[in-house]
Amino acid sequence: MSYRIEQINNTILELLGNKLKLLTSKSQVLITIQEVSVSPDLSNCRVYLAFFPEPSQKQVNQFINSTRVELQKTLAKGLSLRKTPRLQLIYDSRPDQVSRIEKILNDYKS
């Protein structure tokens, strides 16, 4: 990955992290950005989100649909690029899988 893409990924991570903190400050759900990945041509940006406690798929879809436009506007204002990458918010279930595997391993040790 080139240095420029890494810089853009980090900038997007910071911008969206701050905006998500504002959006979820009054809710009972903790949302973390696991990974940001911008395509080499800067046209698309995948943002992997993790939720705690684990919500239902319906709640995840509802959150993603309701905040995508606002997060896209945040990117457009915060990035100094000719064209703003199109945001794609993706639910990342890896933390849930890791905790499940850890539980199985702990049960096996006992």
Contacts of 18-25 spanning 24+ positions with Cβ under 8 A: 19/70, 19/71, 19/74, 20/67, 20/71, 23/67, 23/70
Who wins on pLDDT, 103 or 39?
A: 39
Residue 103 binned pLDDT confidence (cut-offs 50, 70, 90): confident
Give 83-96 pLDDT, tens digit per residue.
Answer: 999 999 998 877 66
For tokens 């080499």, the residue is 40
Give 61-75 pLDDT, tens digit per residue.
Answer: 888 888 999 999 999
The sheet carrying 44-52 orders its strands as: 30-38, 44-52, 86-91
Domains of the chain, start order: 3-109 (3.30.300.20)
CB contact at 8 A, 53 and 18: no
